[in-house]
Amino acid sequence: MINFIKYNFYKYRGEFLILINTTLWGALPVCLRDSENFLPPIFFAGMSLFFAGLCFFIITILKKDRKKIFQPKILRSQIYAVILITIFNFLLFCGGQKISADSSGIFLQTQIFFAILIFGFLKIEKFSRQKIIAAILIFLGIIMIFLHNFVLNTEGNFLILGAATIAPIATFFQQKISKIADANIAGVNYLLIGICLLVLSFLIGENVNFEIFTISKFWKLILASSAIYFFASFLWFSGLRYVEISLALMIDAFSPIFTLFFAFLFLQEIPSLEQLIGLIFIMNGVIFAARNYHD
């Protein structure tokens, strides 16, 4: 029995790491929604990623890996990742404050379709019957959420959709880094991304009242979101060593389940019938993809 568990854990280690990461990511939309009318979104994103990146940078220094950051192959991918993830978080944090936590978490899963489409046509990954069937099931689930939420806040939906479009491409460069370096190297770029977002917040004139630094809720939200980014990203980068990006994103589609739970627990947001039906489709699609991946 123990050998069976060890064998399957080793065989599916990438999936297990991504699934644990997904649990943590499910809490992020709750932080975004809770910050509405309290924290400017770009400033909030910048602070969160800055502290997460600082943790990765400290680990890199302690491991004496800082020279790896400037290796040509790594540095090139880091630059692309910084640009794309900065745009991704700009859209995610702006959209996440405009719609409910559960809807933003579910709607973000449209990234799966962009991943299959982009990587399939660019021949980065192969199209397969399993991927197509899984994508259809997940698509049906997302349509249910889309129909429920679209009329409530169109702007928020399209901001999240924009983030979902960029996510697979950013993940592609993160995977390139993860395959030739440890997770802490891939996470160092969060430090620069955080700085870029803070500068962007200043340039676009976000109204930041610096008295919020004295409010305990401010630090609770910043520390919570930074911790989510740090631990979830560490697991994400580690898992990307072993699985294709489209499969990783399909497993990540489980995150809305945890978002629904956290949203109900902390925000008292009750899921609608459409959301629950949508989740059933999404769960079946993810299970189908993961089960057939190693066949």
Residue 50 has, within 13 A of its CA and on its CB side, a CA count of 13
What's the CA gap between 162 and 141, in Å, rounded?
Answer: 19
Those residues with Cβ within 8 angstroms of residue 202's Cβ, 6 or more apart along the chain or in another chain: none
Three-class SS of residue 188? coil
Q: Which one, of 178, 236, 222, 194, lies nearest residue 24 by Cα?
A: 236
Mean pLDDT over 212-223 rounds to 84
Per-residue pLDDT of 70-129, as tens digits, reads 787 788 888 898 899 889 888 888 887 777 666 677 667 777 777 777 777 776 666 677
Query: What does the pLDDT read at residue 276?
Result: 76
Those residues with Cβ within 8 angstroms of residue 117's Cβ, 6 or more apart along the chain or in another chain: none
Query: Which string of DSSP letters, residue by residue, matches 84-95?
Result: HHHHHHHHHHHH
Length of the chain: 295
What's the CA gap between 193 and 272, in Å, rounded?
Answer: 35
Distances (CA, A) of 111 to 47, 106, 122, 167, 168: 25, 10, 16, 6, 6
Query: What does the pLDDT read at residue 289?
Result: 62
**Mean pLDDT value across the chain:** 79
Interior/surface letters 13-45, b for 16+ CB within 10 angstroms, e for the rest = ebbbbbbebbbbbbbbbbbbbbbeeebbbbbbb
Per-residue pLDDT of 20-47, as tens digits, reads 888 888 888 888 777 776 788 889 889 9
Q: Which two tokens stand for residue 26?
A: 């499910």
Query: What does the pLDDT read at residue 56?
Result: 92
Q: Are 263 and 29 in contact (CB under 8 A)?
A: yes
The beta-strand segments (E) located in the chain are none
What's the CA gap between 222 and 132, in Å, rounded?
Answer: 38
DSSP-H helix ranges across 97-128: 101-107, 111-121
Torsion sign across C-alpha atoms 282, 242, 223, 204: negative
Amino acid at 85: I
What's the CA gap between 292 and 295, in Å, rounded?
Answer: 5
Per-residue pLDDT of 157-211, as tens digits, reads 778 878 888 888 888 888 888 888 888 888 888 999 999 999 988 888 888 777 7
What's the CA gap between 208 and 201, in Å, rounded?
Answer: 9
pTM: 0.79
Query: What does the pLDDT read at residue 210?
Result: 76
Which region holds residue 123: left if phi is over 0, alpha if psi is between -120 and 50, else beta? left
Q: Are 206 and 265 in contact (CB under 8 A)?
A: no
